[in-house]
Structure formats: structure tokens, C-alpha cells
Structure 1
Amino acid sequence: MYDLDKILDEVRTKYYASTTLPRPNILWSDEHWTAINGKYDLYNNQITISRALNSNDISYEALASVVYHESLHQDFAEHDRKFMLRANRFPNYKTYAKELDEYLSDYSLNLKYDKITADYSKDKNEVVFVIIPYLEDFQNAFTFYDGNIYIDTEARISNVSKTNLTIFLVDNGEKYHIVAWAENAEFFKVQKQILHGDFGGLDFSYRIWTLRDNVKILFDTTCTYAIGKKAFPVSLEADKFIIYDIRSDVIQEDLKYVNSYCEGFYELGMAPFATEIAAPYTQLAYMELYAIAVNEAGFRGVWAANALCKMDLNYDTLFNRADALRDSGLITLAYHEMKKAYSLASKNSNCAVELIKLCAMVSDFSLGNQLIKELSGSIAVDEYLANSITHLQK
């Protein structure tokens, strides 16, 4: 139907082309995304547009506005004021945004889940339905930290098979809605905590965790699959969980929905494969790239720092990479990178300070106390450092 490469070239000629990154690749999504029009991934410099938009029911100009929007993300990470000011320069941008929203809303309502796109139940023994204590803001139940996903729930679950499929529900008063699922999750009957706030990290509680890539979280607009409360034993409402054998007849329709879902997932955290990838800033000079690596936040900071390390691996570039990893919640990776930086730093006190904080987070008391002894008495002690020293010296 539509030629995305042609549209991209037109957008770059008439409206916007990044001066820091080369022309991105562009393609259609495999799935029929309805919650998002498209996305831009910096690590591979690629724009992906929802396959649902490849239709005569969408105007050429509306689709071009999506390509324009994603092209802006080469240089603008967030949908902040600067981004929106630039986005609204596209002729009739708001009108096309309304057209797209109305089209995808109708598309989602009429989309038939008649094709199996995944097999999350493969090699699983049990299916666990778990209620999470949120409704509209259910995504807040999931925390990405140190490469894993931690899930908040009141359910006190134990004795679950290690090969399980866990389906997360929210209670809307009359029915339960499926909002996410996870493979091979680990359960804790007693609530656990990660308390890194005093050291510059996060504080949160959880009863379930699994690997980041094992979790699929839906957008709030695509949580359309509801299960009547009478379909479950009454114990679910009180216990917040119920366990079924994977072969149970009563859950097969639910599994069919999960395995055929195709409207896109909410991306939480950084995929493990992407932590070592360098952003394609190949045309930039060292100091230009250095400025980006220092100033970019989140995962874009990691990818920029990776590019800088690839150009010149030294103390400064390793320190920036460690700092970016920590800011992205990748604590263990940050700890190892900061150790590498410190080995090149000739006992740099600033690096020692940051490594002490990371030692407190990963509970490396031996190295932490060694670094405390090496610190000069003149170093400025901030709150995070003071807390880290107190923790390590206990």
C-alpha cells in the first residue's frame, strides 16, 4: 500500500532531517499496534510504523505526520515542550493526530484475535492469575531495576512451579481485566524490598520478580479482554491469586487471547541485548559525541556513552558509561564499569565516591571499605556518600 521509504525521504527533504544522525531505516511493525502509531529506536537508528496504518482509510498526509514525528525522535528523546513545538510545525499536525486516534480506536475494537502470534504457554506447567492493586495506573505495579522486573502485589504466593505463566489482572468492580503476563516468575510469600534510595537508587517493595524479557505489559487502551468474576473461585478476590494446571479447560480461552495478542506492548526498561550497542553517531567529532554522552539521560545516555567508548576507551568515557548505566537502573553493570574506570583513574577521588555508592547498592563491603580508607579527608561528602559509608561500615 504505502511506501514508507518514499514518505521518509519526502519528510526529510521538506520538514526535518537530523544533523547528528544519518538517515534512519524505516519499516512496518510485525504486529498491528493500536496504542502507538510508531516508535524510533536510537540504538539501531530505526523507525517502525504500526502495520495498522498501512490502509486506504488513512490519508497519506496523516501517515507522513507519523513518520515526521518519529524522525524528530532522532534528536528529541521525550515528548517535552521543545519536541511538541517542533512537531506542530508539520502542517495540520493536530488534525492528523485526531484522524489517527479515531482510526486506531475503531481498528482496535474490530481487530480479531484469530491468529496465534506467540506461545507463552509452551513448556509451562502452571498458570497463575494474580491481582495487582492498581487500576488505571496498573503499570506502576511493575518496576524495572538492575535488568529485572519486580512486581508489586498483595498476593502471598508460594509453591509455584518454576515453569509458570503468570497472568496479571486488575479488578474494575465487575470484571477482571488482563493487563500483563510473565514467564517463569519467582514468587515470595513475604514481601521483599530493595532499599537503595539512601545511596542514590530506588526504594520499592515486591513479591514477584522475573527477567525483563519475560514480561509483557499492555497499554491501558488495549486492555480490552475481561473475565467475569464468576469464572473464578471466590477465593481469588480474597487471596489475590489462583493457580491452574496449564491443561485446564477453563483457562484455554484466556491462553488463546494471550497467545494471539498483537496490539503492541509497553516497553519498560532496557533489553539486555541493547546495553552494549553504540548509537550511530559516526559522523560526529569526539567532543560533540562527548557532550551528548554527558547530557543525554536514560537509555539514550547509555547508547551515546557506548559510542564514545567505542571511539576512545579511557577513564572519562568509562566513567560516563557507568554513570549512564546507573541512571538507567542498571546497577550491577554500572558497578562493574565504574570499577574499570577506577582502575584507570589513578585513585581519582570523584570516581571513588561514585564507586562507594555503587558498592553500597550491590553490597560489596570489602571493596567499599577499601575505597573509604583511600578517600582523602578533603573530599566533599554528600548525603548519598554519607549514607553509603555508614551502610558499608556496619
Structure 2
Amino acid sequence: MNSNNLAILNRLKTQIKIVLCSGRSITAILPYIDVLKLNNNQYSIAFNGATIFQNSSLELLQSLTLSDQQLQTIYTFLISLKVPISVDISTLTDVFELSDFSPSNYQQISHNFLNFHKIEFDSISPNLNPTTLIITGDCSDINQVSQNIPSVLTNLFSVVNSRSDMVEFLPKQANKLMAAQNVVQADHNKLSNIIFFGNNESEVKKESSQFKAPTSSVKDNILYVHLPEFSGSSSQGEKYANTIYYKMTSKIYKGIIIDLSNNLGGDIGPMLAGISPVIPNGKLFEIVNAANNPTSVTFRGSVTNNMGTKIDLGNVKKVTGIPVAVILNRWTASSGELTALALENNPSVKTFGGESAGYTSINDTYIMYNGAQVNITTSKIKKNNGQILFNNKIKPDVQTNNPIVQANNWT
């Protein structure tokens, strides 16, 4: 057994709980549960967050599925592309290779942990209730599929590029972070450590042809900004930041509302650069490692140092002297939460909404003997007022179910 496995097993001797989180099926995760001796009352997450199961009993805490109508929608889109791809539909235990498309190699990719069948799409039972639809093929063909997925489908499904030669359609609610939050609630335990355990390709963020850009609107001279999570290249990060930066500096507003609801995190650099006019220069917070050694995360102009991608927008115009409302909810997580902490350094900021997700920490990455990637929470966040956060939820200044209304009234 290698040193990384031993490190995990040593953690299990403490009160820390470990949750395996993977894009693989339940049966493909079970060998890792055995090796890491997790055969207890803990949970694991499979199928990229669609399925949550109890390790020892295999009882399902969550099982999201695709409807017959949803399958038909995806099938119609794929057929129209006329691209040489393979398509498999997977339930928790069985995979159905669609003979309407090219022969599939998904059986080899998935390590034969499931039962495989070949079938025509029209022969699929309307009560199949599959977990995911998997598309495989040459990297160029998969890239063509990804680039042509219309917004109507990305709004209906969770689309995951788990490998360069694979793309998956899952139920819209299938999300590893949301699944982890559900595990915490079911376990009635504060989350202090999560291990994301999957193959490297599924855990590495890749550049996509599209990313969620910030949106804005103005009413009664109050600028409303919705700041979504960001994952992409540095050039995409600049586009993301510029989308909102010029809106914030184009005129003088009565107030600004920055909506971080449903911001699941990602690369904090472009997020802070976009709203850099209302983030003061200086130290934002500290990262404190396991040896209690601090590293300051600082901000100058639009550039974040020691965290995230550096986005330099030049001579940044700072906006001061107006109220800035920040909206949080239970899905404001990770870098989304750290963005809120950065904004707290502005004395004109007040937060509204609900408590955040509670992912205020930093992970260290370990590579297992088989190439699997394991992230273990090791570092804490120290605010400028001295408060230590270690996966603590951020509580808003004004707790309300109508944050936008309350924010508008305040600004």
C-alpha cells in the first residue's frame, strides 16, 4: 500500500469522515471502498453527483434519472449531427449500447463493472429510468458534439466532459458539490473533509467553447450583477471579467447589487477582476496550512495574488462611497464564498440572503498509485479580523427569503 493510501487510512483513525466522489458507477467505486476500508455507515457519490449510496448497505440516498422524453430529446439532437459517435445509456447496473450509432468501446472504458446489452433506441422501455447517457468517440468528434450542444439542452441537462473522448448527459440536478451538500445534511455532520476520488480526466477542468458570463441590469439607477462560477482559460477569464467591469465603471450608480447565489466556485481570479472596482487593494485574507503557516492572498488593481488566475485589466477605476449589497444562498460555495469574503473588506458592503454552502477551505491534491486524484482539505481561511474559517458557512448580515427586494430597499 502506497503512502497516499496510508495517509487516507490514518485520517480514518480520527473523527474525520471521507466521502468518495466519482463519475464512475457504484460497482466501479466498490473496490476503492474496500481498499480504503470505508465499509461503514459513510456515503459515496457516483455518476458525477447523480447517485448517492451508503457504503455498507448500498442503500440509495439519492438516485436522479433521465425520463423517456428527455432521452428522446438527446437522441434527436445526436442523430441530427451525423457525427461518427457511440452512444450508451446507463442505469445503476446495466448499460445499453445503441445500435443506431457506431460500435461502442464504453465497455472497455468502464472496466466491465456493469452488464452490457445492445439495443435499438426505439426498443428502449419507457420505464428504463437511466442515470446517464454517454457519448464516446474520437476527440475531434466529441469536441464537435460539445461545441454544437444548443442552450436549450444545457438548460435541461447537466452536460459533463468527463474525458476528452467522452461527454455525458445527466439529470440537471446532478452535481458533485450539491451531492456532497446532501451527504452532509443526511449525515447530520459538519463537513470538514471531502475526498474527490475519480480518474484524472474527470477531475481536471478543461477549457470549453462556452462559459457562463456575468449578467447585469439597471433599475432606478441601481446596478444588479449576477456573478456565476467560472472555469476556463485565461483568455476566457479576461472576457468574463471585462463583461462586468466596464458595466460597473461606465456610469455613477446609486448602488450596486452583486448576486453570488448559485455560484459554485471555480477560478476566483476572473470573478474578482470583474468586480474589482468595488474590491479594495490590499490583503483579502490568509490561507493557513496544517503547520499554521499563513500565506496572504492580496489584491491590486484587478489582480489576485497567491490564488486563482491573474487577470490584469490595466488602470482599474475604483468605485467608492456607494452601498454594495451582496446576495448569498446555500449554493454559494468554495471560490464563490471566498469572493464574498473579499468583498467584506469594502466597508460599504452588506450581505443578504441565506447561509452559504460552507466550503471555506483549501484542498491539497494527492495522486494515487493508479493515477486517481485525491483532494484532502488541509488549509484554513483567516479573515482580516482574525476569524478562522474551516468549512464554516458564511452568515449574511440580513437573513431573508427576499434578498433582492431587501437589497434594493437598502441601496
Tell me which structure has the larger Cα radius of gyration: 1
Place the TM-score, normalised by the shorter chain, in its bin. Answer: under 0.3
More helix, by proportion = 1
| TM-score of the two chains, using structure 1 as the length reference | 0.25
Higher relative strand content: 2
